[in-house]
Amino acid sequence: MDGATFAGRKVLVTGASRGIGRAVAAAFAVAGADVAITGRKPDSLAATGAEISPPGRAVLPLACHQGHDAEIATLFEQLDQKFGRLDIAVINAATNPVFGPIVQTEKAAWDKVIEVNLTGAFLTAQAAARRMAEQQSGAIVFISSIAAYDPVPGLGAYSVTKAGIVALAKSLAKELAPRGVRVNAVAPGLIETQLARALIENKRIHDQLVAAIPLGRHGQPEDVVGAVLFLASEAAAYVTGQVLVVDGGSRM
């Protein structure tokens, strides 16, 4: 994609201190966008911002816990002050504090996963959508998961939230289309991130999952970048309410 495609665009990427969010934020910055990144830990977030900033420009780190309503509100106040507008929001932040059968999942763990992955994503998207609707333009891209379609063993609560993200994206797409705002989602397969560590480090589970992937490997965060940039770009001007699966072919 042309390096000038996103020149001057104001972009928010949540959960960007590592993994998919970091890779996506770095790509937008290289493509000329002004990028704000969020994460829970200010120190690691600031370090990421410095590491991925292109020469002569800066990526803006804004600490925000997606599970805290007040922090989301503060985030958008800061974006209003720093950027003045928002053209693209990539809602990626997620958590999974539990691994095991869903029937054994404690309510506290369930509540945390729902709070961050679904409620927090909803509040972030809602704040972004209001600003984009007012300016009559914008693109929101959610990071869902193929777990939305085929729940991953041991990741029941996480899978439920990712299915919710698909429904949220489609609902917002229908509501916002008349206001010039597009909403889509990317559903990655097995990607080497912190959240997938339990699956990748368990050889039996990893080998079983990879055996079902025609490309014969698990993915890297960079494998997801192109799909996100496409959906956020003018190349996807006639695309809304869609989910683009990036999984090495496992869901053909």
Kindly list the domain boundaries of the chain, sorted by start residue. 10-234
Contact 129, 228 (CB under 8 A): no
Helix (H, G, I), strand (E, B) or coil at 143: strand
Closest-CA residue to 129 (of 184, 177, 181): 181
Query: Which fold would CATH assign to domain 10-234?
Result: Rossmann fold (3.40.50)
pLDDT per residue rounded down to tens, the chain (252 residues): 444 489 999 999 999 999 999 999 999 999 999 999 999 999 999 999 999 999 988 999 999 999 999 999 999 999 999 999 999 999 999 998 888 899 999 999 999 999 999 999 999 999 999 999 999 999 999 999 999 999 988 889 999 999 999 999 999 999 999 999 999 999 999 888 777 676 777 778 788 788 889 999 888 999 999 999 999 999 999 999 999 999 999 988
Contact 214, 252 (CB under 8 A): yes
- The residues annotated with a catalytic role in the active site are 158
How much is the pTM?
A: 0.94
H or E element in which residue 58 lies: none
The residue behind tokens 């960079």 is: 222
80 to each of 10, 128, 152, 160, 184, how far by Cα in Å?
11, 11, 38, 32, 23
Encoded tokens for 163: 């299915």
